[in-house]
């Protein structure tokens, strides 16, 4: 029987608070927390520690999903990409510039879209948002 975890979208106002909520749900009882990184989120979802200590199926219920979709939407994503581009020595600037250009053209992924893509890549996790999924369009 799948284990059920619940993200509370009312707690998500920006990228840092998204990771605060991820840590609250997935890292309870663990003596370290996940930093604000999409790669770290992906690694977490492979399991092995925290709430995903085993490989059992997990149902991830995401309540107040519209609030999260808005909080992790176009403007938040734009600021995230601009912050990445401010440190060209650490990143693939062409990738992040392309993402920013696509976002500006109205067909790029939002941070929310990327998070959903990461979750979908883990077949042991079934996401159950209480509202429709994110969209890259503003």
Give the pLDDT score at 93.
94
Q: How far apart are CA 100 and CA 86, in angstroms?
A: 13
Q: Tokens 């109205």: give the residue.
A: 106
* pLDDT value of residue 130: 87
75 contacts: CB under 8 Å, gap ≥ 6: none
Residue 134: per-residue pLDDT: 53
Q: Which residues lie closer than 8 Å to 77 by C-beta, 6 or more apart?
A: 103, 108, 109, 110, 111, 112
Q: What is the pLDDT of residue 123?
A: 93
The span from the CA of 135 to the CA of 131, in Å, is 12
Tokens of 135: 């969209």
Residues 99-122: what's their mean pLDDT? Answer: 96
> pLDDT, tens digit, for every residue of 48-105?
888 988 777 999 999 999 999 999 999 999 999 999 999 999 999 999 999 999 999 9
Give me the domains of the chain, ranges plus CATH numbers. 3-129 (3.30.370.10)
pLDDT of residue 29: 85
User: What does the alpha-carbon distance between residue 79 and residue 121 come to, in Å, rounded to a whole number?
Assistant: 25
What lies within 8 Å, CB to CB, of 68 at 6+ separation is: 7, 9, 12, 18, 62, 112
Measured CA distances, 53 to 29, 50, 58, 89 (Å): 11, 5, 11, 35
């Amino acid at each position: 029987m799948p284990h059920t975890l619940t993200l509370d979208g009312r707690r998500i106002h920006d990228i840092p608070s998204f990771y605060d909520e991820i840590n609250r749900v997935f890292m309870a009882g663990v003596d370290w927390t996940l930093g604000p990184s999409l790669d770290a989120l992906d690694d977490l979802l492979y399991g092995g520690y925290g709430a995903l200590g085993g490989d059992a199926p997990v149902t991830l219920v995401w309540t107040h999903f519209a609030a999260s979709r808005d909080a992790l939407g176009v403007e938040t994503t734009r600021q995230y990409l601009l912050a990445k581009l401010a440190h060209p020595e650490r990143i693939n600037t062409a990738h992040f510039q392309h993402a920013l250009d696509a976002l500006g053209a109205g067909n790029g992924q939002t941070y929310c879209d990327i998070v959903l893509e990461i979750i979908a890549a883990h077949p042991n996790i079934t996401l159950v948002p209480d509202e429709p999924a994110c969209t890259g369009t503003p």
